[in-house]
Amino acid sequence: MTAVKASALRPRNSGALRAGSVGVRVDVLVDVLVGVLVGVLLAGCTSGHPKAATIPSAAPATSAPASPAQTPAASASSIAPSSSPADSSPAVTATPALTASPAAVAPSNAPSPTKSATKSSSQSPSPTHPAPTATATAPAPPAPVVPAVFEASAATVTAAELGKSWHAGCPVGPAQLRTLSLTYWGFDAQPHQGALVVNAAVVPAVTQAFRTLFSEHFPIRTMIPISAFGASDPASTAADNTSSFNCRYAVANGPPQWSAHAYGEAIDINTVENPYVFNGQVLPLNGTAYRLRAPYRPGMAVPGGQLVEAFAAVGWQWGGRWSAPDYQHFSSTGG
């Protein structure tokens, strides 16, 4: 009888009762977990130290993202290492406190900013000991002043000094030539020293002619041996240069023949102001403006003028009287 009553009191659907009990336990567990999560979040907001690392790794779906309230004050020691996905959260890797300082990443032997500053200051010169300054270079010596008196001197000349203006087969050799140094007035109204290579036999006459020109302040542009121009007559005349010896043929019609310059017995003077008009062509070309001989301009050779008269006085003839006038040309032979 008692056994019957006990069985009558037992619920018929015991499996449903157990399932219900399990359902009640799950609900209770969820409530508990929610409560714990809310407590953790509240605690994190209050203290500024999130407790995300204490969330069980078995429930990743319920883990909360890192709070924006994290500040640079958080240190790496406040984050507990874990194998849960929370360790790879951007909140942990982007925290400024985890960025190593320059002092931490610099090699042990790298100089610190303080050491660098100390080293630089130790190498800078003391205000009481200024750095030495560069020694000033001595000024170049002034150009020699040519006295305003006529001077002339003759010296022998070598084949090397004649350069391209002489070669084997010329009608005269270096032994028959002289370098004649002369004082002359320039177009700047200042005395200058020049040189002519002439035949030794004409040194007295040439010296006397240029002494006269110097006394009358007749201007001459330059006076340089033609070897300085590579024995190029066009180059020398275009430079308005006064020169004498040059072993070359005459610039003339007919068969080639030695010029009086090849003997050192002719001088071309102020070649721009006194061009050579050959077959209607003005030589040099930059002397074209002087083809017309009037009006008179300084440095020109004209009948009865200083230049023509100075050479006529020593027996030299002027090429300006030729049918093809060579106004620059003066020679002892008339050729």
pLDDT at 37: 73
159 and 79 housed in the same domain: no
Is residue 135 included in any domain, yes or no?
no
Q: Decide if 291 is inside a domain.
A: yes
Contact indicator for 296, 313 with CB cutoff of 8 Å: no
Contact 260, 319 (CB under 8 A): no
- Same domain membership, residue 286 and residue 204: yes
> Do both 80 and 156 map to the same domain?
no
Question: Same domain for 62 and 157?
Answer: no
Instruction: Name the pLDDT band for 146 (thresholds 50, 70, 90).
Output: confident
Residue 156 falls within a domain, yes or no? yes
Looking at per-residue confidence, does 193 or 57 come out higher?
Answer: 193
Q: Are residues 43 and 156 in the same domain?
A: no
pLDDT tens track for 45-65: 544 444 444 444 444 444 444
Q: Please, which pLDDT band fits residue 138 given cuts at 50, 70 and 90?
A: low
Q: Are residues 298 and 159 in the same domain?
A: yes
Residue 21 lies inside a defined structural domain of this protein = no
Whole-model pTM above 0.85? no
**In whole angstroms, how large is the CA radius of gyration of the chain?**
57
**Together in a domain, 82 and 174:** no
Task: Specify whether 317 is located in the same domain as 231.
Answer: yes
Domain span including residue 56: 26-93
Last residue of a domain, one of 69, 93, 117: 93
Please check whether residues 184 and 63 belong to one and the same domain: no
Mean pLDDT of 186-212: 98
Do the domain assignments include residue 219?
yes
Give the amino acid at 213: L
Number of domains in the chain: 2
